[in-house]
Chain A
């Protein structure tokens, strides 16, 4: 089974001795702006070579980045997927399962930010990757689309690593969390353990609403739906 392992990884003055492990399921990196989340993801995706440290990853890694338009290499949404599926009918079928069939014939550069994000994530998952790296999977997405991404990430049976500021989303979707600050991992563990510790408030992060309510009820909630 595919795995991602980082051991004492350094990159310039940005990532300082990070160790991480991700297996099947969703692992999230959280932390303030500039803490090294994106750089860590880029090292995992082999877009950056670390100065030192050990990086073990499967060879086929799908990725989607903060600017989702970077994913696109074709003019039309259909062309992006036809390259993977081989035939346009299959593309339409595939997008229909996500209620996105309206986007089939759209120009990729004309997609809204959120639509581009969804398409970029779907491209990343559809060519059979052995691991997935996604930076800010929910930026530009409304609640309905967030739920869709949540279901997609939960249903694929490979290691998925996301970096996100969307703590409510992370709490719902991630099995394991790494909290970064200033290039270091300052806390890690099962998502509920990290979120129900005082680690987030120590950084000045307001707690997700589910945590606020959960504390009042004396239960560790992931969501309040």
Chain B
């Protein structure tokens, strides 16, 4: 069961005297949420806190309460660095075999994941030679092989062409986990998420359903409301 509860969270990176997050409170259950806001508003930092990376890898100061139930897995913006093995098959085999699965189970799971992400044809190709869209999907497959209850995606649409964005949106809809996406490109996300969290300078400015997004907010592509209607 995935559950995230954050109460009055303050976080700053080591050697920095400015707080990146200033009194953030959030409850997220089994749902799909998009976190948006200007660059530097704290989107990535929030994902790093939820994944545990902020404290474990970066250090820094964390005040307030963060409770995360379930396994949270984070796919960073620079997903190039995320996949360690030369090919997707090796990457997935490595992770799955380390979970103690038998060879047959590993193969079955790779089949399931590659069907889900549409990466069957590229399983044995060098990841660095794939297109950005394919690499992003391999990175997500790799994250899913860790069986996350909570999947955290940092700007998953950044490098993908418009067609790929639509395809990835469909894929993410079929993932059985809490999905939290930090993203600026909201054009195609209407069908995928039901809730939007808007961060401004480390503070939550809006948290609620897409339908009630404040109109004309300078930080949001304002026709989103219309887009959601049109897309549905």
Binds A, one of B3-11, B35-43, B98-106, B138-146: B35-43
Q: Is the CB of B44 within 8 A of A33?
A: no
Q: B131 touches which one: A33, A203, A212 (CB < 8 A)?
A: A33
Instruction: Give Cα distance in the complex from A33 to B131, angstroms.
Output: 6
Q: Is the CB of A33 within 8 A of B155?
A: no
How close is A122's CB to chain B, nearest CB, in angstroms? Answer: 13
Q: Is the CB of B162 within 8 A of A206?
A: yes
- A187 at the binding interface (Cβ < 8 Å): no
Instruction: Give Cα distance in the complex from A70 to B223, angstroms.
Output: 34
Cβ-Cβ contact count across A and B, 8 Å cutoff: 94
CB contacts (< 8 Å) of A168 on chain B: these are 187, 221
Q: Is the CB of A142 within 8 A of B39?
A: yes
- A17 at the binding interface (Cβ < 8 Å): no
Instruction: Give Cα distance in the complex from A7 to B134, angstroms.
Output: 31
Q: Is the CB of B38 within 8 A of A114?
A: yes
- A23 at the binding interface (Cβ < 8 Å): no
- A184 at the binding interface (Cβ < 8 Å): no
Q: Is the CB of B164 within 8 A of A33?
A: yes
Q: A34 touches which one: B131, B184, B227 (CB < 8 A)?
A: B131
- B25 at the binding interface (Cβ < 8 Å): no
Q: Is the CB of A142 within 8 A of B37?
A: yes
Q: Is the CB of A205 within 8 A of B184?
A: no
CB contacts (< 8 Å) of A115 on chain B: these are 39-40
Q: With A115-B39, A140-B39 given, is the CB distance from A31 to B161 under 8 Å?
A: yes
Scoring A residues 23 to 56 as 1 if CB is less than 8 Å from chain B, else 0, what string do you get? 0000000011110000000000000000000000
Q: Is the CB of B163 within 8 A of A112?
A: no
CB contacts (< 8 Å) of B187 on chain A: these are 168, 206, 209
- A76 at the binding interface (Cβ < 8 Å): no
- A4 at the binding interface (Cβ < 8 Å): no
Instruction: Give Cα distance in the complex from A140 to B76, angstroms.
Output: 12
Main secondary structure of the interface of B (DSSP, over half): loop
- A16 at the binding interface (Cβ < 8 Å): no
CB contacts (< 8 Å) of A19 on chain B: these are none
Q: With A140-B155, A142-B39, A142-B184 given, is the CB distance from A112 to B44 under 8 Å?
A: yes
CB contacts (< 8 Å) of B162 on chain A: these are 165, 167, 200, 204-206
Scoring B residues 135 to 158 as 1 if CB is less than 8 Å from chain A, else 0, what string do you get? 000000000000000000001001
Q: Taking beta carbons and an 8 Å cutoff, which residues of B are in contact with A?
A: 13, 16, 36-41, 44, 77-78, 131-134, 155, 158-166, 184-185, 187-188, 218-223, 226-227, 230
A selection of 30 A-B contacts at a CB cut-off of 8 Å is A32-B161, A32-B163, A32-B164, A33-B133, A66-B159, A110-B13, A112-B40, A113-B39, A113-B77, A114-B39, A117-B39, A118-B39, A136-B158, A136-B159, A139-B159, A141-B184, A142-B38, A143-B218, A143-B219, A143-B222, A144-B38, A144-B218, A165-B165, A167-B162, A205-B161, A205-B163, A209-B187, A209-B223, A209-B226, A212-B230
